[in-house]
Chain A
Amino acid sequence: MVKKMKSKQNLLSLYSFIIYSVIYIPIIILIVFSFNDSKVNAMWQGFTFKWYLELFDNSSIVTAMTNSLMVAFVSALISTAIGTLAAVGMYKYKFRGKTVLDGLLYVPIIIPEIVMGIALLMFFSQLKIPTGALTLILAHTTFSVSYVVIVVRSKLEGFDPSLEEAAMDLGAKPLETFCKITLPLIAPGILAGSLLAFTLSMDDVIVSFFVSGPGFTTLPLQIFSMVKFGVSPEINALSTLMLIFTLSIALFSEKLRFKSDKEEKVKEKIIFKEKINLKSIKKIAALFIAVLIIAGVFTGCSKSGSVAQANSEEVLNVFNWSEYLPEEVIEKFEGKYNIKVNYTTYASNEEMLAKLMAGGAQFDIAVSTDYMVDVMRNQNLIQEINMANIPNYKNIGNEFKGLAFDPENKYTVPYMWGNAVVAVNTKMIDTEINSYADLWDNKLNNSMVVLDDQRAIIGIALKKLGYSFNETDPAKLEEAKNELVKLKDNIKIYDSDSPKTSLINGEAAVGYVWGAEAVLAQLENPDIKVFFPEEGLYIWQDNFVIPNGAPNKDNAELFINFLLEPEISAEISKCFPYANPNVEAHKLMDAETLDNEVIYPDSEIIKKGEHLRDLGETTVIYDQIWTELKSN
C-alpha cells in the first residue's frame, strides 16, 4: 500500500516536472543566450553583457521603449479611472438593461484581438484620426477597461454594502463616504487593475500593429519586426528585460491582491500588528505612481517636442522593412533637406499591404517586393512616380529595370535585390549539388534546412520539372506536388528567419537559403560551400513605391533620389549584405563585397533567374499544396 502510494507520488512529481520543464525551459534558454558572446544563437561562446549595453545604444529601441512606457502609462491611467467608475456603478445601481450593458463590458476580452485591431483601425481612418500615439492610447484603453472592471469588481464582490451605509449613518456625505470608505477598501483592486492594464499595454502586439502610425512604434512591435530577420542576442536581451519588467509588475499586483485578501481572512486571531499592511501598500503605490508620472512627463515632453518640430517642418512618412536602412542615412537626409522623417517598419509584404489597405496610416513611401508590386498595382494602391524628380534613376543598372512587374518603369524604383542558393557543409556531405534535382538525392535524407516559403519550395520542384517559378497550369502544379512528396524525407527544418543557424551548428548539412544568409554562414563556418542550381535562381527585388494618397509625394521622390546618390547607396550597402542594383554606387564599394559571387552572381546566372509574379487565382492551388506538404 505504502509502496504503491510512493510510486504514484513519484509518477506525479515526474509529471509535474515535465509540465514545468515544457513551460519554462524555452524561457530559460532565451535568458541564457542573452548572455552569449556570439552573434549566432546556436552555440555557447562565453559570458557577456554586451548585448544589454548595445540595446541602450540603439536609439530606435530606446525610442520604442519610451513610447511603450508612455502609452502604457496614459492608457492605464485612463482605463483605471473609467474601469473603476464602471465597476462601482455596476455594483451599486440597478437599472433597466443593466445585464446587457454588463455583458457588453466584458466582450472586448473575448473579441479576437485581430478583429479588434482591424475594427479600431477602420474606425480611426473613418474619423480621419491619423494613427500614432493617440490611436495607440485610445486602442489600449479600449481593451484595458474591461480587465480593470473585472479586477475592481472582484474586489467589490467581497465589499459589504452596509459599510457605506454605516458611514452615511454616521454623518458622511456621499463623496466623503466614497473617499474615506469605498476607495481605501477597493484600492488594492484598483491598483492591481491599473498594473494589469499597464502590462497589457506594454505587451500588446496585435492591436498595436494595426493602430500604430508613422514614426511611432512600441517596443513589442519593434522586437517583432527585428525578429523577422533572425533572432539576434540583442533581442534575447531585450526580451529578458521585458520579461523581468512585466513579471515584477505582475508579481507585485498579485502580492497586493493576496495581501489584502489575507488581511480579511485572518479573523478572530488576536495579533498585535502595527498597521503595516495598508500603510506600506500606500507607500509603495505612491512610489510606483511617482515613477510612472516622471516617466510619463519625460516621454510626454520629448514627444510633444518632436510633434512641435513636425508641425513647423516638412514631413515624410517612410514605411520600410526593418533592418533595411541605416539611421545615419535618414539623419543625413533630414539635415540636408530639413524634412522630418517618420520611419516605420514592417516584417513582411503582407503586413505592409494590410496597413496600406486599411488606409489609416498615410505613408509617402513603401518598399515592396516584386510580386507584391503586382498586387498593389491591381488594387490601385500605388501611383505613378514622377521620374523627372529622380534624376539618379539613371544610376540603376538596366537589368533591374523594365521587369515584368513594372515593364514601363512607371511605379517602381529598385532598392535592393537578392537570391536563394544552395549551401552545403562539405564536411558532412561530399557530393556537389549543381541542380535542384540533386536535392532529391536520398543520401540527403533528413539533413536539409529550407526556406519556410511556399513560392520558393514549390518553385524548386517546378524548376526541377523544367517549368517556371510562376507556373499556373494545375496539371503541372500537381506534378510538382508529387515531386515535393518525395523531397519531404530530405527536409529536416523549415526556417526563413535565420536558416544560417542550423547550417552553422551542423544541425543541417544542406540548405536552400537566402544568398545573404549563406554568406553569413560561410563567415562563421568556412566548410560551407555555395552552389547555384543550373535550372535557374529564385531572384527577388525590393522596390520603392509611392502609395496612392501619399500626402508628401514630392518629398518622397526627393528621398528616393537621395538614396540613389552613389555615396549614400554605397553607405547602405556597407550596412546590409544585400545586392545593390545601383551600378554607380558599385564604384565606391569594396571590391571584396562586389567579388562575392553569392551576393553578386555572374550576369549569366542572373539572366537565367526568375522573379516572382502575383499568381492571382492560382495562389489558392499553391496554398493547398503547401498545406498538404506541411501537414503530412
Chain B
Amino acid sequence: MVRIENVMKDFGGQRVIENLNLEAKQGEFLTLLGPSGCGKTTTLRMIAGFEEPTGGKILLNGKDVSQNQPYERDVNTVFQSYALFPHMNIFENIAFGLKLKKLPKDEIKKRVNEALRLVRLEGYEGRKPNEISGGQKQRVAIARAIINNPKVLLLDEPLGALDMKLRKEMQIELKHLQQKLGITFIYVTHDQEEALVLSDRIAVMNNGKVEQLGNPSEIYERPKTKFVADFIGETNLFEGTVSLVSENCIKVIIEDLSEITITDPLLDKLSLKKNANVYVAVRPEKMKLVSSAKEGMNKIKVTVKEKIYAGSVNKTIAALSKGSEITINELTGNTTTINDISKSMFAQWNYEDGVVILQ
C-alpha cells in the first residue's frame, strides 16, 4: 500500500532521516514509535506530502508520489492539534473535502451524516469547533479525514492532547474504527503503551532510523537493540561478556562477576562468540526478590535500596555490589511486606526470561 524506499531527509544541511525503508500493507495498523526528534513525524509528513524527501521514493499503491502535492495524494491526515477550521461548523468541517470535489449537495449531506454516525457525533453538526470537547474534536478530525475515502489514513499523535481516561477509550474506538473501515492506518506516537495496544506492527525509530520493526509482542519480548529494550517498557540492562556458547544456552559474565544463563530458543547463537560484549535485558516483572536463592534460576546478589508502592505492583530498587541499580516489580499481595531495606537479598529470574542484545 505505502512503500518508503531509501528515503532521506535533510533540514538545513542536517540529516534527520537516513535511508529509510518501510512498508505498510493493505488494512494494516502500522505505528511509528519513538522519542521526539526521532523522525517519525517527518516521515509521516513526507507521506502526506507536506515535506519533500531529499532522496528516495515514496510509493502509494505502487505509484511514485514523492513529487506530488498533498492535494494530489490519496491519503488524509489527522493532526495532533486537530486543525479544525474554527470559522466553520462541524458539518462544514467534515464536508470540506467533499465540497472541494464539487459533489452534489444531497450526496455531501448523506456522506457527512454517515461519517457523523460513524464517530458518534449525530446532532453536533451545527456547532463550532470551540463549542465541543477535546474528545469530540478528535472525532470530528477523524470524520473529516476519512470522508474522502483515502487509501491510507495518517494520524500524528492524535490522542496526545486528551487526558488519560479519554485516551484509553479513544484508543479502543480507533482500533474498532480501523477494523470497520479496513483502510491502512499509519500512526505516529511516542507513547509505547498506546503503540502496543493499537498496532498490528510497530516501527521503533531512533535518530532517523528504524531500530526494529515487528508486532507488539516481538517488540516487547524480543528487543533487538539496547535502544528498543530501553525505550519500550522498563528494563534491567546488564553489560557483560560471553563466557560460554553451547547448543542449549549461552552464559554471560556481568559486572559483579556473577554468571547469567540465557536459554533463548530464538537466539542466533552462530553470531555470538566467546568474549563478545553483549547486553542482557531482563524485564523487572520477570524478577523476584528472595532471601535464599533457588537452584536452576539466575540469581544476583543485591542490596535493597528503596521500596515503592505503585498500585498493581511493588517496585523495589536494589543495587548490585558494584553500585549499578536494578528494578524489580512484584505483584502486590504476592510479596511479603517485611521491611527489608538495606538487607542483602537475591534477585532471581528464569533462564528463558533474559534477552541477549549485541553491542
State the A residues within 8 Å of B (CB): 160, 162-163, 165-173, 176, 181, 184-185, 263-264, 266-273, 275, 278
Contacts and interface: CB of A to CB of B under 8 A. Distances in A.
Contact of B71 (A160, A172, A184, A271): A172
A176 B71 CA distance: 11
Contact of A169 (B70, B101, B131): B70
B82 to A, nearest CB: 9
Nearest to A170: B97
Nearest to B100: A171
A171 B101 contact: yes
B76 to A, nearest CB: 6
Contact of B69 (A168, A264, A270, A272): A168
Contacts of B132: 270
A163 B100 contact: no
A160 to B, nearest CB: 6
A266 B87 CA distance: 13
A278 B87 CA distance: 8
B85 interface: yes
21 contacts: A162-B81, A163-B85, A165-B50, A165-B77, A165-B83, A166-B79, A166-B144, A169-B48, A169-B50, A170-B71, A170-B97, A171-B148, A172-B71, A176-B100, A185-B85, A267-B130, A269-B130, A270-B127, A271-B131, A273-B128, A273-B131
Contacts of B49: 168-169
Contact of A269 (B80, B126, B131, B144): B131
| Interface core residue of A165, A171, A176, A263 (most chain B CB under 10 Å) | A171
Given A181-B85, A185-B86, A170 B131 contact: no
A316 B343 CA distance: 109
A181 B145 CA distance: 16
Contacts of A173: 69, 71
A167 B76 contact: no
Contacts of A272: 126-127, 131
Contacts of B79: 162, 165-166
A165 B75 CA distance: 13
Nearest to A177: B71
Interface of B: 48-50, 69-71, 75-77, 79-81, 83, 85-87, 89, 96-97, 100-101, 126-128, 130-133, 144-145, 148
Contacts of B70: 165, 168-169
B89 A169 contact: no
Contacts of B148: 170-171
Contact of A266 (B48, B100, B130, B145): B130
Nearest to B131: A270
Given A169-B71, A171-B71, A171-B97, A163 B83 contact: yes
A362 to B, nearest CB: 52
B247 to A, nearest CB: 55
A371 B100 CA distance: 75
A490 B287 CA distance: 102
Given A170-B96, A172-B100, 8 more contacts: A162-B83, A167-B96, A170-B100, A171-B71, A171-B101, A271-B131, A275-B128, A278-B87
A172 B71 CA distance: 6
| Interface core residue of A166, A167, A278 (most chain B CB under 10 Å) | A166
A298 B55 CA distance: 60
B85 A166 contact: yes
B75 to A, nearest CB: 8
Q: Chain B binding site: helix, strand, loop or mixed by DSSP? A: loop
B76 A169 contact: yes
Nearest to B75: A169
A434 B76 CA distance: 96
Contact of A160 (B81, B87, B100, B145): B81
Nearest to B77: A169
A160 B126 CA distance: 23
A275 B87 CA distance: 9
Contacts of A264: 86, 130
B71 A168 contact: yes
A170 B97 CA distance: 5
A170 B83 CA distance: 12
Contacts of A267: 130
Contacts of A275: 89, 128
A168 B77 CA distance: 10
A358 B86 CA distance: 53
Contacts of B128: 273, 275
Contacts of B81: 160, 162
Contacts of A185: 85-87
Contacts of B97: 170-171
A163 B80 CA distance: 11
Contacts of B76: 169-170
Contacts of B101: 171
A169 B87 CA distance: 18
A186 to B, nearest CB: 11
A162 B157 CA distance: 14
Contacts of A170: 71, 76, 96-97, 100, 144-145, 148
A167 B92 CA distance: 12
A273 B126 CA distance: 9
B190 to A, nearest CB: 18
Nearest first, the 3 A-B pairs at minimum CB distance are: A170-B97, A166-B83, A162-B83
B77 A166 contact: yes
B277 to A, nearest CB: 45
| Interface core residue of A170, A184, A264 (most chain B CB under 10 Å) | A170
Nearest to A176: B100
A264 B85 CA distance: 11
A413 to B, nearest CB: 68
A181 to B, nearest CB: 6
A279 B17 CA distance: 46
A163 B131 CA distance: 18
Contacts of B80: 162
A160 B100 CA distance: 21
Contacts of A166: 77, 79, 83, 85, 144
Contacts of A184: 87
A275 B89 CA distance: 9
B350 to A, nearest CB: 48
A165 B48 CA distance: 9
Contacts of A171: 71, 97, 100-101, 148
A17 B21 CA distance: 72
A349 to B, nearest CB: 57
| Interface core residue of A163, A263, A272 (most chain B CB under 10 Å) | A163
Contacts of B50: 165, 168-169
A113 B96 CA distance: 48
Nearest to A173: B71
A267 B148 CA distance: 28
| Interface core residue of B76, B80, B89 (most chain A CB under 10 Å) | B76
Nearest to A165: B50
Nearest to A185: B87
B155 to A, nearest CB: 12
Contacts of B87: 184-185, 278
A45 to B, nearest CB: 55
Contacts of B144: 166, 170
A475 to B, nearest CB: 74
| Interface core residue of A168, A169, A268 (most chain B CB under 10 Å) | A169
A49 B148 CA distance: 66
Contacts of B96: 167, 170, 172
Nearest to A268: B133
A166 B49 CA distance: 11
Contacts of A181: 85
A360 B68 CA distance: 55
A273 B69 CA distance: 37
Contacts of A162: 79-81, 83
B10 to A, nearest CB: 14
A263 B88 CA distance: 13
B45 to A, nearest CB: 8
A272 B128 CA distance: 9
A110 B242 CA distance: 73
Nearest to A267: B130
